[in-house]
Amino acid sequence: MAVSRSTSADGVPVTVIGAGPYGLAAAAHLSGHGVPLRAFGQPMDSWRTRMPAGMFLKSTPSASSISDPVGAFCLDRFRAAEGRRPEGDLHPVPLDEFVRYGLWFQRQAVPDLETAAVRRVDADGGGFRVELESGEAFGSRSVVLATGLGPFARIPAQLADLARTGLVSHPSEHADFAGFAGQRVAVVGAGQSALESAALLLEAGAEPVLVARTDRLLFGEPPTRDRPEQRPLARRLVKPASPLGPGWSHRAFSGVPGGYRYLPPGVRRHFLRTVLGPSGAWWLRGRVEGRVEVLTGRAVRAGEDVGGGARLTLVSRDGGSTVLEADHVLAATGYRVDLDQIALLAPGLRDRVERTGGAPRLSAGFESSVPGLYFTGLAAAATFGPVLRFVCGTGFASDRIGAAVAARG
Ligand SMILES: Cc1cc2nc3c(=O)[nH]c(=O)nc-3n(C[C@H](O)[C@H](O)[C@H](O)COP(=O)(O)OP(=O)(O)OC[C@H]3O[C@@H](n4cnc5c(N)ncnc54)[C@H](O)[C@@H]3O)c2cc1C
């Protein structure tokens, strides 16, 4: 599937910025609609440089395919192309395999991807002016922003001072944990990233201590069969399979994301906070429980630099406080969408984007209040729900974007 690249002097009909799962899927679907485009970004960059070596995907293989218009480039097809058999829920996908898959998808579905970075997008007449790091600039009638999670990494205010001294980092700053061997590392958080980071730190020879606000750590239920359709009928009726995991609510969030934007804003915010709350994949339990030191029911109140080490003051619900000293603090405290962190959007253009919380308010076709400016991936989760946080949302998003941009002409 070749991307139709415009050479028109008036600019391109659409520019896709970002070459992770969402940008690649958007480009593939736009091409499927015959819309000429230019697509930019280092393919699978976040997965290659911002995730730790040795990581596995929490999503199951069947929920980890990047979407293309005819389903030709799913994970199973890639495995077949590598001469391997498909595997199911009992076999988590290793990070390095997913990176290889994403690069293969790019070569097949978006072969004309340009690896240049985009420096700036600004309004220009009824369209946009796109400027690359190389200095090249061109006009574009529409822009699809698929720049991912990077700008939204969140470090809590209580740790901000320590972050400035380099004693605190976010997991997205590490492509492996080998450099922490021999160090005591406080890992703050109770989600997949915190739990997997703690396991990987331990396995890299560090001494992790997990600090969690929750009263206990939660892990998923191990699947009893490799394929959801192999489960007994009664189990399937009570907890139907879905890309977000078993259960009717997960099925609704993944099956009808288009309905999510009709929920009242407060309800949408609530679901976004609580659906798929902090927990680890089933296969992490044995690598964490009984192996990693855990302090549950505690929140970080303050952090200070004590001569090159970190001292954290932790408070429990009953008001009691504990002091924890560590060589480093890993704030596995997630991501928070804030449009103001997308530096490549010119401030004047950014200010014209209406918001819901810090995220852009989007139409059914993923278009913001600025005509022709589309957002996909995590930035769209406030409008379409939790499925947009995962690779399994690439089909819904790209299908809608492809149709909307094609209709715009
Ligand atoms: C540790 C971790 C584990 C995860 N595990 C899973 C999982 O198991 N399953 C799952 O479904 N999801 C998982 N996710 C969520 C996952 O990151 C998203 O589902 C997915 O990567 C989002 O894709 P994306 O294309 O929106 O963003 P990204 O993958 O972040 O891609 C963004 C792209 O934008 C490019 N870019 C940024 N700025 C510019 C610029 N100025 N110019 C050009 N290009 C630019 C980058 O180079 C990159 O290629 C995980 C996330 C994290 C952090």
pLDDT reported for residue 294:
97
Residues 114, 73 share a domain: yes
pLDDT per residue over 80-134, tens digit each? 999 998 889 899 999 999 999 999 999 999 999 999 999 999 999 989 999 999 9
The atom of ligand 1 lying closest to the CA of 391 is 11
pLDDT reported for residue 270:
86
Residues 124, 44 share a domain: yes
Give CA–CA dist 222/106, Å, rounded.
32
pLDDT per residue over 210-235, tens digit each? 999 999 999 998 888 888 888 888 88
The residue contributing the CA closest to ligand 1 atom 29 is 20
The residue contributing the CA closest to ligand 1 atom 33 is 18
pLDDT reported for residue 194:
97
Give CA–CA dist 43/32, Å, rounded.
20
Residue whose CB lies within 8 A of the most ligand 1 atoms, among 65, 96, 149, for a mutation test: 149
Residues 33, 129 share a domain: yes
pLDDT reported for residue 6:
42
Centre of ligand 1 to C-alpha 253, Å, is 20
Residues 189, 87 share a domain: no
Looking at residue 166, which CATH number applies to its domain? Answer: 3.50.50.60
Domain end position, chosen among 267, 302, 331 = 331
The secondary element (H helix, E strand) that includes residue 35 is none
Residue whose CB lies within 8 A of the most ligand 1 atoms, among 48, 333, 391, for a mutation test: 391
pLDDT reported for residue 5:
46
Measured in degrees and rounded to the nearest 5, phi and psi for residue 349 equal -70, -45
Give CA–CA dist 40/21, Å, rounded.
13
The residue contributing the CA closest to ligand 1 atom 38 is 147
Centre of ligand 1 to C-alpha 84, Å, is 26
Give CA–CA dist 283/83, Å, rounded.
26
Give CA–CA dist 139/44, Å, rounded.
26
Centre of ligand 1 to C-alpha 290, Å, is 32
Give CA–CA dist 118/136, Å, rounded.
10
CB–CB of 54/203 below 8 Å? yes
Q: What percent of the chain has pLDDT over 90?
A: 78
CB–CB of 374/23 below 8 Å? no
Output the average pLDDT for the chain.
93
Cα-based distances in Å from 148 to 100, 220, 237: 19, 26, 35
The atom of ligand 1 lying closest to the CA of 51 is 1
Pocket of ligand 1 (CB under 6 A): 17-23, 40-42, 45-46, 51, 57-59, 64, 117-118, 146-150, 193, 344, 377-378, 390-392
The residue contributing the CA closest to ligand 1 atom 35 is 18
Q: Are strands 127-132 and 118-124 parallel, antiparallel or unpaired?
A: antiparallel
Q: Residue 257: inside a domain, yes or no? A: no
Q: Residue 248: inside a domain, yes or no? A: no
Helix, strand or coil for residue 242? coil
Centre of ligand 1 to C-alpha 181, Å, is 27
Q: Is the pLDDT of residue 151 over 80?
A: yes
Q: Is the pLDDT of residue 274 over 90?
A: no
pLDDT reported for residue 94:
97
Residue whose CB lies within 8 A of the most ligand 1 atoms, among 147, 279, 336, 366, for a mutation test: 147
- Structure-token pair, residue 283: 């296969």
The residue contributing the CA closest to ligand 1 atom 19 is 390
pLDDT classification of 164: cutoffs 50, 70, 90: confident
For residue 94, the cross-strand partners are: 56
CB–CB of 374/1 below 8 Å? no
The atom of ligand 1 lying closest to the CA of 41 is 44
Q: Residue 361: inside a domain, yes or no? A: yes
The atom of ligand 1 lying closest to the CA of 148 is 27
pLDDT per residue over 115-130, tens digit each? 999 999 999 998 999 9
For 227-236, 276-285, 388-397, which range has the lowest pLDDT when averaged over its residues?
A: 227-236
Centre of ligand 1 to C-alpha 297, Å, is 31
Sequence-distant (6+) residues with CB within 8 A of 73 are 28, 65, 66, 104, 105, 108, 109
Give CA–CA dist 231/302, Å, rounded.
48
The residue contributing the CA closest to ligand 1 atom 31 is 20
pLDDT per residue over 21-52, tens digit each? 999 999 999 999 999 999 999 999 999 999 99
Residue closest to 196 by CA, chosen among 210, 179, 180, 182: 210
Residues 106, 85 share a domain: yes
Domain end position, chosen among 331, 354, 373 = 331
The secondary element (H helix, E strand) that includes residue 211 is strand 207-211
Q: Residue 120: inside a domain, yes or no? A: yes
Q: Residue 245: inside a domain, yes or no? A: no
Centre of ligand 1 to C-alpha 149, Å, is 6
Centre of ligand 1 to C-alpha 359, Å, is 17
pLDDT reported for residue 7:
39
Residues 162, 143 share a domain: no
Q: Residue 261: inside a domain, yes or no? A: no
Residues 366, 309 share a domain: no
Residues 306, 171 share a domain: yes
Give CA–CA dist 313/298, Å, rounded.
10
Query: Residue type at 67?
Result: S
- What value, to the nearest 5°, has the Cα angle with vertex 336 and ends 44 and 141? 60
The atom of ligand 1 lying closest to the CA of 376 is 26
Residue whose CB lies within 8 A of the most ligand 1 atoms, among 64, 130, 169, 390, for a mutation test: 390
Q: Residue 105: inside a domain, yes or no? A: yes
Helices (H), 216-300: 233-238, 248-255, 257-260, 265-274, 285-288
Number of domains in the chain: 2
Domain end position, chosen among 268, 298, 331 = 331
The residue contributing the CA closest to ligand 1 atom 10 is 390
How many other CB atoms are there within 10 angstroms of residue 53's CB atom? 14
Give CA–CA dist 312/325, Å, rounded.
6
Centre of ligand 1 to C-alpha 39, Å, is 15
Q: Are strands 298-306 and 309-316 parallel, antiparallel or unpaired?
A: antiparallel
Residues 316, 291 share a domain: yes
Q: Which domain holds residue 200?
A: 157-219+279-331
The atom of ligand 1 lying closest to the CA of 172 is 53
Residues 51, 172 share a domain: no
Sequence-distant (6+) residues with CB within 8 A of 97 are none
How much is the CA Rg of the chain, to the nearest whole Å?
22
Give CA–CA dist 409/250, Å, rounded.
35
- What value, to the nearest 5°, has the Cα angle with vertex 398 and ends 393 and 403? 140
Q: Residue 206: inside a domain, yes or no? A: yes
Residues 169, 131 share a domain: no
Q: How many residues does the chain have?
A: 409
pLDDT classification of 10: cutoffs 50, 70, 90: low
pLDDT per residue over 315-347, tens digit each? 998 889 999 999 999 999 999 999 999 999 999
Helix, strand or coil for residue 326? strand
Residues 314, 175 share a domain: yes
